[in-house]
Amino acid sequence: MKVSLFSQCVMLSLAVAVTLFVSGCGQQTGESGGDSKPVAAASHNDDEGHADDDPSHGGWWCVEHAIPEEECSMCSAKAAEEFKAKGDWCEEHNRAESQCFICDPSRAEKFAKLYEAKVGHAPPKPESE
């Protein structure tokens, strides 16, 4: 059985396409051109178990609490200790006073503006209060 040159090229192209698809599946690269560091996939759960359905913020945003992850006093024990040391703590709601949107919902605006400035659109709605 003789296979035509055209059929061989089609099969080779298909094999290459499948290989590229499989090897690149599940990773996205940053938007800054040469940045090959993986960013959050469309449905990401970080080590703390926070769901992140918006890959545009690259995992730096705590979707659960609507605060940058490294500043989130509800997720980071280190951040919580720093806020407590500064006297910035809401005992009633167990979070930094400056991040207590329950006591003062207008505090969320500062973080929403920070998100929008970095990502270019409004942040996702917080998953909890």
- Residues 40-72: b if buried by 16+ CB within 10 A, e if exposed: beeebeeeeebebebeebbbebbbbbbbbbebb
Counting Cβ atoms within 10 Å, is residue 26 exposed (0-12), middle (13-18) or buried (19+)? exposed
pTM, 2 dp: 0.55
Residue 2: CB atoms within 10 A of its CB come to 4
For residue 53, the 8-state DSSP code is: -
Residue 111, Cα to own-chain centre: how many angstroms? 15
* The pLDDT value given to residue 44: 36
Residue 97: CB atoms within 10 A of its CB come to 18
* The pLDDT value given to residue 124: 87
Q: What is the pLDDT of residues 32-84, one digit of tens each?
A: 344 333 233 223 334 443 444 445 456 889 999 999 999 999 999 999 999 99
Residue % of the chain over a pLDDT of 90: 47
